[in-house]
Amino acid sequence: MSQLYPQQPLTLAPSPLWRRLRAALKGAVSILCTLLGLAALTFFIGRLLPIDPVVAVIGDNAGQEAYDQMYRQLGLDQPLWKQFIDYIWQLAHLDFGIALTTSHPVAQDIARVFPATLELATVAAIIGVGLGIPAGVVSAMYRNSWFDHLMRFIGLLSYSTPHFWLGLMGLLLFYASLGWIGGPGRIDFIYEFELQQKTGFWLVDSLLAGNWQVFANVFSHIILPASILGLNSLAYISRMVRSFMIEQLSQEYIITARVKGLSWARCVWVHALRNIAVPTLTVVALSWAWLLEGAVLTETVFAWPGFGRYLTNALLAGDMNAVVGCTLLIGGIFVVLNLLCDLLYRLFDPRTRQEDQ
């Protein structure tokens, strides 16, 4: 009987706790490898650029003795592999070096300018999400209608028109001609000393202080650059939501719901919209990250004292410490957001959890 029915070896299925730990370990290793690769890329690109870091520090008129001393002080006399190890060791301690443009630690400069960009990108994301999701749903509900064609035109306009040109035209029309908004910068000079800075987000700080005049002034300065950034986000989100919704509206459960007598609006705004929540959230998160990165030209046009303007000044001055620090920050944000989106997929979509079992 044992030959007819050979015994199969017993295999124990991994416990749910072990599967979660294994997934978390894989995610941590993936993040570390990605950040290490990004750090290596920025390091070797910085060495290949035709910029002499010693000249950027001491200037063109320094003598040979001062040049050699700074060359050794920066560690450039060491082998390339040792420079890279020292570089990774500094990054592990969040030490990006000293910024040549400000003579301050790069980490300190980023902590000072990043809240301005974060506030601008968040307001732009609110505009893009608040208008993009309903626009995408309505475009899917009424395909090839005048509204659908209008959203396509807005998307084409957003992708084809440079943001710096829109910013200049917006300032010329709404600030110089009509006077509806504030000018460049985050706030007028007369209100700057009334603002009690606590969080770095000036809209929030003015609300916490209950100073509505300062809030209105800060809002008048942020609304135009945020709207220009939000236009691109709106076009991208509405196009993706439209594609998700068209796919859902062709599913059998929507047809069954319609046959049972559910209204068209309820099928769309309740059932179909619920099923595209997770991919839409992924699109929104990545769009917000792109807004953080894409604010460089917008901040330059509007003299916005944020992360993008700081990066632009660092690039023009050849300040590689600041450029590398900014690049690693943006890369880290994308990595973390991608990980969060993956976790959300696993949390809300049972099919992805079954694939890991």
pLDDT in tens, 328-344: 888 888 888 877 777 77
When mean pLDDT is compared over 141-145, 222-226, 259-263, 295-299, the highest value belongs to: 222-226
Looking at residue 281, what is its pLDDT? Answer: 84
DSSP-derived secondary structure letter, 187: S
d(CA 138, CA 147): 8
3-state secondary structure of 98: strand
How far, in Å, CA of 124 to CA of 292, rounded? 10
The pLDDT mean for the chain works out to 80
For 154, counting Cβ atoms within 10 Å of its Cβ (0-12 exposed, 13-18 middle, 19+ buried), the class is: middle
* Domain annotation for the chain: domains and CATH numbers: 40-93 (no CATH), 108-356 (1.10.3720.10)
**Which residues on adjacent β-strands are paired with residue 98?**
105
* Spatial distance between the Cα atoms of 352 and 100, rounded to a whole number of angstroms: 47
pLDDT reading at 279 higher than 70: yes
pLDDT at position 63 over 80 = no
Is 242:140 a contact under the CB 8 Å cutoff?
yes
The predicted pLDDT at position 2 comes to: 47
| Tens digit of each residue's pLDDT (9 = 90 or more) over 2-58 | 455 455 554 545 566 676 677 667 767 777 887 788 778 877 777 776 666 677 667
Specify the amino acid at residue 238.
S
| Dist CA 70 CA 158 (whole Å) | 47
The CA distance from 191 to 198, in Å, is 16
Distance, in Å, from the CA atom of 4 to the CA atom of 193, rounded to the nearest integer, reads 90
